[in-house]
Chains A and B, each alone.
Chain A
Amino acid sequence: GAGVSQTPSNKVTEKGKYVELRCDPISGHTALYWYRQSLGQGPEFLIYFQGTGAADDSGLPNDRFFAVRPEGSVSTLKIQRTERGDSAVYLCASSLTVGQDTQYFGPGTRLTVL
């Protein structure tokens, strides 16, 4: 079946602009996660959704970052007033339920802030 998909695959923007990154999880997966992978680092947890609600957003670096999942499926990560330090690969993952289930990752969106 189809895996996790993310669009766009690459996004180049200018400092100060607003961006949206989309994640389409595996059908039927109730849990959705966003991670950020900076160059030379492993992925770092940003936020987790169970259904429509953000169950844990403790990894979001500041209030410029926000994510939604209005219908419990597709999620959008939104970044306001982008900064050069936001440049990274943003990964989305989904799992059937939370906790013991394996997280399946999408290919990521590479964000470059000029």
Chain B
Amino acid sequence: AQSVTQLGSHVSVSEGALVLLRCNYSSSVPPYLFWYVQYPNQGLQLLLKYTSAATLVKGINGFEAEFKKSETSFHLTKPSAHMSDAAEYFCAVGPSGTYKYIFGTGTRLKVLA
């Protein structure tokens, strides 16, 4: 069975500081991995996805994530946080060729001025 664990339900960073949101997955088959962002009262927006090509994936708004099979991790990073990055972030796993995304419980990012 597939599962996703996001460490830290709340993360606070100062504006301009590094953003690191952690995601570990469990999958018995090669996974597709996703990061979505959810702003208040809005739907989930895809930040980036990993589909077994390059292990370092670049997404929108300056975010990137690295797939590390040995660590079963897919952590999301951004070198410099902006106030507009404040939102909830969800990691999801979807075994290749399937439609059932399994989501983590989310990490709420707060950016301090």
Contact = CB atoms under 8 A, between A and B. Distances in A.
Interface of A: 3-4, 31, 33, 35, 40-45, 48, 56, 59, 91, 93, 95, 98-100, 102-108
B42 interface: yes
A107 B41 contact: yes
B70 interface: no
B14 interface: no
Contact of A41 (B96, B101, B105): B105
Contact of A45 (B41, B51, B100): B100
Contacts of A105: 36, 43-45
B100 A107 contact: no
- Tell which of B4, B96, B101, B105 has the most Cβ of chain A within 10 Å: B101
A12 to B, nearest CB: 16
B46 interface: yes
A107 B105 contact: no
A33 B97 CA distance: 15
Contacts of B100: 45, 48, 56, 59
Contacts of B45: 105
B101 to A, nearest CB: 7
A69 to B, nearest CB: 14
Given A42-B105, A43-B90, A105-B43, A100 B36 contact: no
Contacts of B82: none
22 contacts: A3-B43, A40-B9, A40-B106, A41-B105, A42-B90, A42-B103, A42-B104, A44-B103, A56-B99, A56-B100, A99-B97, A99-B98, A99-B99, A100-B97, A102-B34, A102-B46, A103-B99, A103-B101, A105-B43, A105-B44, A107-B41, A107-B42
Residue from the set B46, B99, B100 with the largest chain A CB neighbour count within 10 Å = B99
B49 interface: yes
A64 to B, nearest CB: 21
Contacts of B41: 107
Contact of B51 (A56, A91, A100, A104): A100
B43 A108 contact: yes
A44 B4 CA distance: 12
